[in-house]
Amino acid sequence: MKSRPYRLGQRRVSVERTRARIIAAARKLLGAPGAFSGFTIDAVASQAGVARMTVFNQFGSKRGLLEVLFDDLATRGLVERLYASFGQPEPQQALDELVAAFAGFWSSDRIVIRRIRGLASIDPDFELAVRARDERRREGLRTIVARLEKKYHKPTPAARDEVIAILHTLTSFETFDNLAGPEHNPDEVVSVVCRLARAAVELDEGNCRGSPKRTIEERKER
C-alpha cells in the first residue's frame, strides 16, 4: 500500500522533468539560427526528444507552450525585481526600479526575446502572448503613475494616458535594444531611460538611478 504514493511521486518528478526539458528545447530553438521558420511543435518535440503528443499533453497548444516559456523567462529575470519596484515607498524610486527591472530582463536573454518579438509580427500565437505581457507592463506603469499623481499631482489627469503610453514605449524591449546596441551595458540604458521617464512625467531628475552626466553617445566618443 505504501508503494502507491511513492510511484505517484516518481511519476510527478518524471512529468516535471519532461516539462522542463520541453521548455529548455523551445528556448534553445528560439535562440538558434532559423528560428523564424523552425519553431513548430514538431521541432520542439524533436529537440526535447519526446513525442509530439507529449508536448500537446503538457501544454495544450503552441500558445500554451509559449505562455509557460514566457513565464519561465520572467521568473528567471523579472518577477522578483518587479515586486521590489512596486514595494518602494517613494513612487519616483518605484519608477526607476521598474525601468531597471525591465532593462535587466530584456538583457537576460536578448537574442531569444528579440526573436520572440519578431515572430509576434507574423505568428498569431506569438502575437497574442506578447501583447498580453505588454499589457501587464502597461498596467504596472498605470499603478505607478497613479501614485505619482497622488503625491506630486503629475501628470495631470488630461495627460495621464499620453504619459503612460510614453512610459510604455520607453520600457519596451525595442527601446532597450536600440539604445543598448551592440556595445552598451544595461546600466547605461537604465540611466538614459530613467531620465527620459522622469521628463515625461515632468519630474525633477534628482537622484534618478545613475544620474549620468554623459549620454550614451558622449561615452562612446571617449
HEC readout, the chain: CCHHHHHHHHHHHHHHHHHHHHHHHHHHHHHCCCHHHHCCHHHHHHHHCCCHHHHHHHHCCHHHHHHHHHHHHHHHHCHHHHHHHHCCCCHHHHHHHHHHHHHHHHHHCHHHHHHHHHHCCCCHHHHHHHHHHHHHHHHHHHHHHHHHHHHHCCCCHHHHHHHHHHHHHHCCHHHHHHHHCCCCCHHHHHHHHHHHHHHHHCCCCCCCCCCCCCCHHHHHHC
Print the domain residue range for 44. 3-60
CATH number of the domain enclosing 17: 1.10.10
Residue 216 has pLDDT above 60, yes or no: no
pLDDT grade for 76, boundaries at 50, 70 and 90: confident
Residues 114 and 194 in one domain: yes
**Structural domain includes residue 66:** no
**Structural domain includes residue 158:** yes
pLDDT grade for 31, boundaries at 50, 70 and 90: confident
For 110-123, what is the mean pLDDT? Answer: 90
Q: Can you tell me the distance from the alpha carbon of 136 to that of 171, in angstroms, rounded to the nearest whole number?
A: 12
**Structural domain includes residue 172:** yes
User: Domain boundary at 60, 80, 95, which?
Assistant: 60
Residues 111 and 7 in one domain: no
Q: Can you tell me the distance from the alpha carbon of 148 to that of 91, in angstroms, rounded to the nearest whole number?
A: 6
Q: Can you tell me the distance from the alpha carbon of 142 to that of 144, in angstroms, rounded to the nearest whole number?
A: 6
Residue 217 has pLDDT above 70, yes or no: no
User: Considering all CA atoms of the chain, what is the largest pairwise distance in Å, rounded to the nearest integer?
Assistant: 74
**Structural domain includes residue 195:** yes
Residues 116 and 180 in one domain: yes
Q: Can you tell me the distance from the alpha carbon of 191 to that of 188, in angstroms, rounded to the nearest whole number?
A: 5
Q: Can you tell me the distance from the alpha carbon of 186 to that of 210, in angstroms, rounded to the nearest whole number?
A: 11
**Structural domain includes residue 214:** yes
Residues 80 and 9 in one domain: no
Residues 54 and 104 in one domain: no
CATH number of the domain enclosing 174: 1.10.357.10
Residues 140 and 170 in one domain: yes
Average pLDDT, the chain: 87
Instruction: State residue 11's pLDDT score.
Output: 72
Which percentage of the chain shows pLDDT scores above 90?
A: 64
Instruction: State residue 38's pLDDT score.
Output: 75
Residues 41 and 86 in one domain: no
Instruction: State residue 191's pLDDT score.
Output: 94
Instruction: State residue 32's pLDDT score.
Output: 84
Residues 17 and 82 in one domain: no
Count: domains in the chain: 2
Closest by alpha carbon to 188, among 200, 197, 176, 199? 176
Q: Could you tell me which residues come within 8 angstroms of residue 182 by beta carbon, excluding any fewer than 6 positions away?
A: none
Q: Can you tell me the distance from the alpha carbon of 113 to that of 66, in angstroms, rounded to the nearest whole number?
A: 12
Judge contact between 193 and 99, C-beta under 8 A. yes
Residue 220 has pLDDT above 80, yes or no: no
Residues 9 and 95 in one domain: no
**Top mean-pLDDT range of 32-36, 55-59, 161-165, 217-221:** 161-165
Instruction: State residue 15's pLDDT score.
Output: 85
Residues 56 and 79 in one domain: no
**Structural domain includes residue 212:** yes
Instruction: State residue 105's pLDDT score.
Output: 95
**Structural domain includes residue 65:** no
pTM here is 0.84
Tens digits of residue pLDDT in 12-25: 788 899 999 999 99
7-27 as b/e, with b when 16 or more CB fall inside 10 Å? eeeeeeeeeeebbeebbebbb
